[in-house]
Structure 1
Amino acid sequence: MEPAEFTAALEDEKSTELDRLGSEKALVASTSAQLDAESVLAAAARAEARAADTFDQWAASESAEEVRETFERVAADERAHYERIVEHRDDAATDVDSDPDTDELHDYLRSLDGSVERVASGLVARPMVASRSLLQTINFFVNDADESSAALFRELRSETDEMVDEGTDLLDALCESDDDWDRAAEAAEATIDRAYDSYADTLEGMGVDPKPVC
């Protein structure tokens, strides 16, 4: 399978979930409906910190050298994203825990122990989800007339999108058979499912329908 075919198939298979994860309700879920600038910044910082912790854990137990080095670098990049968000404001956002509690998505990611599954889930599916959340964060700050914050998140989103291409290229090197690609697809789809289930459960717990209003 070609890397581009993998991402296209994943986006097609999980189009409904990805569309909803990229809706305006994304920030309602991630901030528990606290739609102010500091709450949005804090939620974004926690997401980056969780990702950094996940990649740190993977790097510590990964036996494949190229994959381990990639996880180490991505962990550093995600930690840098956290620090850039926190340093962007000098008030409430600076109090965000750099080691936040895990969530359903990262519980699933941290349960994976295969290189193929980790790369497919962490470097392809997870950034697909994160990119959609970051787009809504950009839109929030554009609507808030805060161009500085919007510009920061545009940069973070661009770097997150690049991760998908890197992940599929690494998968291409790791997958030696159709069975390997099938395992990658299963892990990637499960990752999006976990993210969507958490999103939907959070909204339903607040009495908000996760489905779009037609």
Structure 2
Amino acid sequence: MTADDLLASVRDDKQTELSRLGSSKTLYADTRGEMEEAAVRAAAATREQAAVDTFSAWADDADGDAADLFARAADDAAERLDDLAAHAEDRELGMHAKLDGYDATVERLGGLVGWTLVDGKVKEQLTGFFTGQADPGTASTFRSARDGVEALREDAADLLDAACESDGDWETAENAAADVIAAAYDHYFETLEELGVNPKPVC
């Protein structure tokens, strides 16, 4: 297996989940139905703060190229948090609860890949929201942020190609990525159900 194979497999296996996480219902769930600019900024800040916490802890616990990559992921999230000028809410995010349980480097690299697949979808929705708010500056910030998240995914994939020495390593990384997406989706699904919203698209 290669990192390209892993990405293709995870995207195929989690196609439905990623598609739904890429809908406007994600922001609705994040804000618990309060789709005002301040609420959206706070929800985005909550995601960025969780990323700072997770990836900075990983960086402190790693070495070499993996430590550098995790530190960059944390620094990028911290910069986005500063740009938002909003306070993060004190609440748990399903996928970060999953990520925080990963210990091995291969598992964490796979988890980072899964996180980027989810976070890229969220950044697309944030870009669209602020475009609709006639705030092109903030929309551009999130568009650039999405590009940065995609760059992290590419670099994580490169490190996986170097770090995975067996089929078992690849299976560990793939399962980690898929489980992060599943955790994000479960949180999304459960939140929408609590709000009385059908999480599934209506055809």
Aligned residue in 2 for 1:8? 8
Contact 1:27–1:136 (Cα < 8 Å) also in 2: yes
Contact 1:49–1:100 (Cα < 8 Å) also in 2: no
Q: For each residue in 1:137-176, what CA deviation from the matched residue of structure 2 results, as whole angstroms up to 9, or x when unmatched?
A: 1111122222122111111111111111111111111101
Classify the secondary structure of the residue corresponding to 2:100. Answer: helix
Contact 1:26–1:133 (Cα < 8 Å) also in 2: yes
Residues in 2 aligned to 1:53 and 1:173: alpha-carbon distance in whole angstroms: 26
Q: For each residue in 1:44-96, what CA deviation from the matched residue of structure 2 results, as whole angstroms up to 9, or x when unmatched?
A: 1111111011011112222x42212221222112111111222xxxxxx3xx0
Classify the secondary structure of the residue corresponding to 2:138. Answer: helix
Give the superposed CA RMSD.
Answer: 1.3
Aligned residue in 2 for 1:90? none
Q: What are structure 2's unaligned runs of at least 5 residues? A: none
Contact 2:18–2:118 (Cα < 8 Å) also in 1: yes
Matched residues, number? 203
**1:186 alignment partner AA:** N
Residue 20 (structure 1) aligned with residue 16 (structure 2): no
Classify the secondary structure of the residue corresponding to 2:148. Answer: helix
Classify the secondary structure of the residue corresponding to 1:154. Answer: helix
Residues in 2 aligned to 1:125 and 1:107: alpha-carbon distance in whole angstroms: 13
Deviation for aligned residue 1:100: 4.0
Classify the secondary structure of the residue corresponding to 1:111. Answer: coil
**1:144 alignment partner AA:** Q
Contact 1:46–1:100 (Cα < 8 Å) also in 2: yes
Match of 2:153 among 161, 164, 167: 164
Output the TM-score relative to the length of structure 1. 0.90
Aligned residue in 1 for 2:64? 65
Residues in 2 aligned to 1:55 and 1:100: alpha-carbon distance in whole angstroms: 18
Shifted more, 163-172 versus 2-11: the winner is: 2-11
Residue 111 (structure 1) aligned with residue 101 (structure 2): yes
Contact 2:95–2:184 (Cα < 8 Å) also in 1: yes
Q: What are structure 1's unaligned runs of at least 5 residues? A: 87-92
Residue identity (%): 38
Output the TM-score relative to the length of structure 2. 0.95
Contact 2:69–2:156 (Cα < 8 Å) also in 1: no
**2:152 alignment partner AA:** M
